[in-house]
């Protein structure tokens, strides 16, 4: 399985347009080679480079989505991801564009796509840790795209 973007290469720089300094839009994502037995897809976008004085665990979850149809070939509109949007690290059910603190250096943004053998029955208030617990034993495949952004 693969996840990619026409806006940036794996381990490349996310364009300003897709950050809080631009439109804040989701960089378009493409999905390929989803396993035949997949019943749903889940997507987590997180930044593990948050200063510890802001978040003790150093992580910020930008987006959590599940029950994306397995035939969906990608995402380009965060307002209509085709699945259930869960809670980000702010507790809101929405996409949060990259916004590292100015001068903090590059942050990495991991777009992790999971192919699952089930549909998930999670409350829409669920976050990344809830999703990760729910998919335990149901992951058929996983793909990761990492982009960097700095202010």
Domains in the chain: boundaries = 2-149
Q: What is the pLDDT of residues 17-62, one digit of tens each?
A: 999 999 999 999 999 999 999 999 999 999 999 998 888 899 999 9
CA atoms of 14 and 2, how far apart (whole Å): 18
User: What sign has the CA pseudo-torsion 127, 33, 79, 14?
Assistant: positive
pTM of the model: 0.96
Can you give the pLDDT at residue 111?
98
75-99 residues labelled b (16+ CB within 10 A) or e (exposed) = beebeebebbbbbbbeeebebbbbb
pLDDT above 90: residue 122: yes
pLDDT at 137: 98
Question: For residues 39, 76, 16 and 9, what is the CA-based torsion angle, rounded to 10 degrees?
Answer: 60
CATH of domain 2-149: 3.90.280.10
Assess whether pLDDT exceeds 90 at residue 94: yes
Q: Average pLDDT, whole number, for the chain?
A: 96
149 near 24, Cβ under 8 Å? no
Q: Which residue has the tokens 């150093």?
A: 58
């Amino acid at each position: 399985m693969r996840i990619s973007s026409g806006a940036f290469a794996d381990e490349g720089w996310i364009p300003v347009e897709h950050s809080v300094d631009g439109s804040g839009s989701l960089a378009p994502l493409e999905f390929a080679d989803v396993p035949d037995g997949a019943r749903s897809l889940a997507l987590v976008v997180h930044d593990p480079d948050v200063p510890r004085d802001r978040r003790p665990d150093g992580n910020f979850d930008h987006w959590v989505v599940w029950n994306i149809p397995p035939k969906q070939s990608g995402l380009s509109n965060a307002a209509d991801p085709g699945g259930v949007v869960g809670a980000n690290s702010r507790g809101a059910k929405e996409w949060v564009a990259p916004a590292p603190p100015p001068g903090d250096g590059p942050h990495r943004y991991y777009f992790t796509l999971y192919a699952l053998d089930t549909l998930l029955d999670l409350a829409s208030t669920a976050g990344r840790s809830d999703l990760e617990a729910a998919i335990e034993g149901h992951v058929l495949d996983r793909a990761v795209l990492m982009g960097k952004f700095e202010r």
